[in-house]
């Protein structure tokens, strides 16, 4: 990916090695950097940058690092295709995304058996039978095609699998170490405090000493999945895993179901018949409390999605400064400004990556803790604690 | 940016599957052994600390009893020393008394002996004096009858003889 | 026109969020200054409330855009 490629010269080196090894189309030893910058007319105007960033923020069906135009004026793409798996009107279809030839504007039609597919803005559509070309309605939506259930190994799914594999290998090795010695060495020495942190700072105080054990696998998995995904999103590979609303929705939905299924009698009582409150108030409170059940996970999914999306957007916009400010300040100043600002924001993003994982896990355990807590509210009705709980619930 | 349009059901589905698999796999192969090892270790540390605390208490207790025993022994020793000193003094005093008595006895008997010797000597002297006096008186009486000068000479002579 | 209104709305959201975050941060600083030994707990609570506020603001931003 071009903007990510520009991020640092260091990463570019590693990337080039990686990309050339995986390149679809063979090409000679070309100075990619030179090519991309002088490659005029590609991503130079504000609108192009904006659409480029939006394209990055969306999921994609191939692993695409960057593109360039060679001397013969051919567009070259560095990356590798990923398998497309869709459920069309003609049943499940499997093919490689290279069949779309990097097209994202419904130009290339792929025929698979009885079904014809095309890709528009990172979404795969199936053409209605009988139609030969895509036609659009007034809102630039295809009128003679419909979306298919697309469970492809997209870039995000690929990233998720990679993150899952990384987590599994890391913690499996840590778990193995405990069989030999009680204090781990090497990487385990870094991982163990993280596990302890999740257990002692997040789960224990929020869920309670007696009940936290049951939820540890979920909390630990989610914490590390979000954290590593966030960090992977900061690398020039251009993943945007936790910036996909489907993924954050899924995570929030898991928390939602875990909260509802582990909730005890007190929790439901607090929702449907709040104790120590006048009857009229109870009736007013029911819809508010019911709404609260859904707003809590909703705020979880929006927060993670928005933070990561905003982070990627800001980083990419700052990288684009070197192009947008070039006319005003010249190449050196605009590039320097861009590098300094991007570095600054990237450091903050590293912090945000951790913070969002922490907050997601923290709030999940807080909600679980609320659901499994045993209240003894009858003795001290309307005390400070209850007020805090209520305010917190409304706030969320 | 339209969120609903952006939402991909397929991605959601894949994520759900991956997440479930991850939770199960990690729970079984990673989190469970890690957490149990951690809590085991913590329990081990806790019990070790408790054992150390107990050992410390035991040590303190032992030390205290040792101290008491030492105190006892010291007191006993002092007592014994005191006794011994008393006995010694007693013995010295006794011996001194006995010696004194014996000496006194010896002195007394010596004095008695001297006294009796003296008495005997005096008695002896007395009897001799008496004899001498008798002798002198006899001689004097005899000479007086003969001559006056001769008497006087005799007395002188006898006195010279009787020079004690 | 709609784009301008969106921008104004975003600005309002940012102002509101900024005020809220400022309040949280300032009060947390005061609290830490008053009780430095409770700094850890205060920071955690501060981050949680900050996150809740941020979720609210981001929610508004995204629904508005």
> Domain ranges in chain A?
36-152, 156-395
Nearest chain C Cα distance for residue B5, angstroms: 13
Average pLDDT over residues A59-75: 79
Query: How many CA atoms lie less than 13 Å away from A326 in the CB half-sphere?
Result: 11
Q: Does C19 touch chain A (CB under 8 A)?
A: no
pTM: 0.72
Tell me the C-alpha distance between B45 and A113, whole Å. 66
Dump strand ranges (E) for B108-152. Answer: none
Helix (H) or strand (E) holding A110: strand A110-112
Q: Is the pLDDT of residue B164 over 80?
A: no
**Phi, psi angle pair for A189, to nearest 5°:** -65, -25
For chain C, what percent of residues have pLDDT higher than 90? 31
Check pLDDT > 90 for residue A60.
no
- Per-residue pLDDT of C17-34, as tens digits, reads 999 999 999 999 999 999
> pLDDT band for position A10 (50/70/90)?
very low
- The CB density around residue A278, as the number of other CB atoms within 10 Å, is 9
Chains that touch C (3 or more CB pairs under 8 A): A, B
Residue B11 in contact with partner chain C when CB distance is under 8 A: no
Which residues of C are less than 8 Å from B1 in CB distance? 62, 65
Query: Which tokens belong to B155?
Result: 């007395």
Determine the Cα–Cα distance for residues A234 and A56; give it in Å rounded to an integer: 13
CA-based nearest residue in chain C for residue B1: C65
The predicted structure's pLDDT at residue A393: 61
The confidence score (pLDDT) of residue A41 equals 44
Asked if A74 reaches chain C (Cβ–Cβ under 8 Å), the answer is no
pLDDT tens-digit map of A330-359: 888 999 999 999 999 999 999 999 999 999
The ranges assigned to domains in chain B are 14-162
Residue B2 pLDDT > 90, yes or no? no
Q: pLDDT per residue over B95-126, tens digit each?
A: 999 999 999 999 999 999 999 988 898 888 88
For chain C, say whether B4 makes contact (Cβ under 8 Å).
Answer: no
Strands (E), A18-105: 62-69, 75-81, 83-88, 91-96
A115, containing H or E segment: strand A115-120
With beta carbons under 8 A apart, name residues in chain C contacting A355. Answer: 47, 51
| Sign of the CA dihedral with A389 first, then A394, B3, and B4 last | positive
Q: Is B145 on the interface with C (CB under 8 A)?
A: no
pLDDT of residue A64: 80
Reduced to 3 DSSP states, what percent helix, strand and coil does chain B have, rounded to the nearest 5? 95, 0, 5
Which pLDDT does position A256 carry in this prediction? 94
pLDDT, mean of residues B10-18: 90
Per-residue pLDDT averaged across A183-189, rounded? 85
Q: Using 50, 70 and 90 to split pLDDT, how confident is the model at A28? A: very low
Burial class (CB in 10 A: 0-12, 13-18, 19+), A360: buried
Least confident window among A121-125, A128-132, A186-190, A392-396: A392-396
Cβ distance of A246 and B11 shorter than 8 Å: yes
More confident residue, A53 or B51: B51
Tens-digit pLDDT profile for residues A100-157: 887 777 777 887 777 788 888 788 888 877 777 777 777 777 777 888 888 888 889 9
Mean pLDDT score of chain A, rounded to an integer?
A: 79
The shortest CB-CB distance from A396 to any of C44, C52, C54 is to: C52
Q: Tell whether the model's pLDDT for residue A6 goes beyond 70.
A: no
ipTM above 0.95, yes or no: no
B1/C contact by beta carbon, under 8 A: yes
């Amino acid at each position: 990916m071009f903007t990510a490629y520009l991020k640092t010269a260091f990463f570019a080196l590693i990337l080039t090695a990686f990309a050339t090894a995986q390149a679809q189309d063979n090409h000679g030893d070309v100075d990619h950097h030179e090519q991309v910058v002088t490659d005029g007319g590609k991503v130079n105007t504000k609108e192009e940058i904006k659409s480029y960033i939006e394209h990055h923020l969306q999921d994609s069906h191939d692993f695409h690092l960057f593109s360039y135009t060679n001397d013969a004026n051919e567009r070259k793409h560095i990356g590798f295709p990923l398998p497309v798996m869709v459920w069309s009107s003609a049943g499940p279809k499997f093919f490689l995304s290279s069949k779309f030839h990097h097209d994202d504007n419904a130009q290339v039609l792929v025929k698979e058996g009885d079904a014809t597919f095309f890709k528009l803005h990172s979404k795969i559509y199936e053409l209605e039978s009988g139609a030969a070309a895509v036609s659009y309605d007034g809102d630039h939506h295809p009128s003679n095609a419909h979306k298919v259930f697309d469970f492809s190994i997209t870039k995000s799914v690929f990233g998720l699998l990679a993150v899952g594999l990384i987590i599994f290998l890391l913690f499996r090795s840590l778990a193995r170490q405990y069989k030999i010695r009680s204090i781990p060495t090497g990487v385990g020495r870094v991982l163990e405090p993280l596990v302890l942190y999740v257990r002692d700072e997040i789960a224990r105080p929020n869920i309670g000493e007696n009940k936290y054990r049951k939820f540890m696998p979920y909390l630990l998995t989610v914490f590390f999945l979000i954290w590593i995904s966030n960090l992977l999103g900061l690398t020039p590979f251009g993943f945007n895993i936790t910036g996909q609303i489907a993924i954050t929705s899924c995570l929030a939905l898991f928390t939602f179901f875990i909260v509802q299924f582990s909730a005890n009698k007190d929790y439901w009582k607090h929702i449907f018949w709040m104790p120590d409150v006048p009857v009229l108030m109870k009736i007013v409170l029911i819809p508010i409390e019911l709404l609260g059940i859904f707003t809590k996970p909703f705020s979880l999914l929006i927060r993670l999605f928005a933070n990561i999306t905003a982070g990627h957007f800001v980083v990419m916009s700052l990288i684009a400064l070197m192009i947008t400010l070039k006319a005003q300040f010249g190449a050196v100043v605009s590039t320097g400004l861009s590098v300094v600002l991007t570095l600054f924001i990237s450091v903050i993003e590293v912090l945000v990556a951790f913070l969002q994982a922490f907050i997601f896990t923290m709030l999940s355990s807080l909600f679980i803790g609320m659901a499994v807590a045993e209240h003894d509210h009858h003795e001290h009705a309307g005390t400070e604690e209850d007020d805090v709980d209520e305010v917190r619930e409304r706030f969320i | 940016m339209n969120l609903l349009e952006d939402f991909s059901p397929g991605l959601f589905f894949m994520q759900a599957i991956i997440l479930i698999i991850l939770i199960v796999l990690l729970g079984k192969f990673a989190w469970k052994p890690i957490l149990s090892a951690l809590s085991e270790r913590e329990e081990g540390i806790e019990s070790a600390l408790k054992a150390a605390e107990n050992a410390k208490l035991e040590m303190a207790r032992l030390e205290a009893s040792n101290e008491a025993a030492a105190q006892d022994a010291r007191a006993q020793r002092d007592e014994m020393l005191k006794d011994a000193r008393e006995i010694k003094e007693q013995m010295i005093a006794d011996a001194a008394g006995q010696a004194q008595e014996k000496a006194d006895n010896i002195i007394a008997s010596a004095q008695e002996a001297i006294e009796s010797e003296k008495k005997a000597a005096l008695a002896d002297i007395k009897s001799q004096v008496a004899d001498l006096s008798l002798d002198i008186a006899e001689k004097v009486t005899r000479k007086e009858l003969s001559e006056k000068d001769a008497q006087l000479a005799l007395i002188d002579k006898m006195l010279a003889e009787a020079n004690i | 026109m709609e784009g301008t209104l969106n921008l104004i709305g975003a600005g309002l959201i940012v102002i509101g969020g900024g005020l809220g975050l400022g309040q949280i941060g300032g009060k947390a600083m005061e609290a830490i200054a008053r009780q430095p030994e409770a700094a850890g707990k205060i920071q955690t609570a501060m981050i949680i409330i900050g996150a809740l506020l941020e979720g609210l603001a981001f929610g508004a931003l995204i629904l508005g855009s």
